[in-house]
Amino acid sequence: MSTVLIYDPISEDGLNILRKAGHTLITRQELNEKNKDSIEGLVIRTSPLKGDFLSQLPHLKVIGRHGVGVDNIDLDYATKAGIIVGNTPYANAVSVAEHVLGMMLYFIKKYTLSDSLIREGKFRERDHIGLSELNGKTLGIIGFGKVGKAVYRIAHDGFAMNVIVYDPYIEVPKDVHSVEKLEELLKSSDFVTIHTPLTEETHCMIDTKELSLMKKGAILINAARGPVINVDAVAQSLRDGHLGGLAVDVFPEEPPRPDSPILTAPHVLMTPHSAALTYEAIYRMATGAAEAVVRVLRGEKPDYIVNPEVLKEGKK
């Protein structure tokens, strides 16, 4: 059978699928010049996977991505080399969507402030906290892929929010309120949440101009990829009192630099790229990535292929 490189640690559930299929597993630490030629499959999470490394694995047939985004993988090289890249697009959608709604609730329910008031003996100040509801508020969703759709369902069906969607690449259902221009969404939304892949076009898609278009006091949420927002511009907007709050699960550099401006900006909620790290999502991502590798190595197509042109060109 084949040798599979476990580039990043994954759960035993995924490893057992690979073992059951008869494959030999090695970790990145066990990789050496003697076993590189034997590797036909690879499972990765978020570590960078560059072409110069992939070129050292001449018999690699498939990369199983433990997650959705593939900006950490040299997809151009993989495609040219005939390496199938399979991901797990549905695995973490619910977990990330729930995380986003939780961030929204954090800002309007002011849980931390309420808790601290009680601990400080200021129970009677509850009348001055200034709480609100999600019901009836407007949520702008940028990107209507798997996670965006999951956020929509919870926000629209569960919290009766008014939801606006912007996605120039996906045909949005007619019963979903969508706009053709990002500016329309930004001007109308009380909350803006981003769910796009990281591309040249989405890099810093929320910058000084876009922030100026947002409602004063609006909340910006980024659980997609760190570089889709300009954190310097966001921090300045927070300090100026225009942007009402920022919730981020991702950063341009992870972990964020100690001098990152959002670490000292007001009204910021941060989580350590953990939105997808629920028990359920980890299980689905690990098993899904492992299944993708197993399928390709036995001559089948994985359920989800990021670079289907590899198959069309009849490679590997």
Residues annotated as catalytic (active site), given as ranges: 225, 254, 273
- Helix 111-119 crosses helix 93-109 at what angle (to 10 degrees)? 50
Rounded CA-CA distance 238/28 in Å is 42
- In the numeric block, the tokens 């849980």 are attached to 111
Handedness of CA 168, 170, 175, 177 (dihedral sign): negative
Token code pair at residue 300 = 């089948």
Rounded CA-CA distance 194/236 in Å is 19
Rounded CA-CA distance 305/283 in Å is 19
Rounded CA-CA distance 260/257 in Å is 5
> Which residues contact residue 204 at a Cβ distance below 8 angstroms, ignoring those fewer than 6 apart?
227, 228, 229, 230
Helix or strand or coil: residue 251? coil
Amino acid identity, position 84: I
Rounded CA-CA distance 214/203 in Å is 18
CA-closest candidate to residue 275, choices 95, 85, 26: 95
Using CB atoms within 10 A of its CB, is residue 289 exposed (0-12), middle (13-18) or buried (19+)? buried
- In the numeric block, the tokens 């499959």 are attached to 41
- In the numeric block, the tokens 């019901």 are attached to 135
Give backbone dihedrals phi and psi of 86, rounded to 5 degrees, phi first.
-110, 140
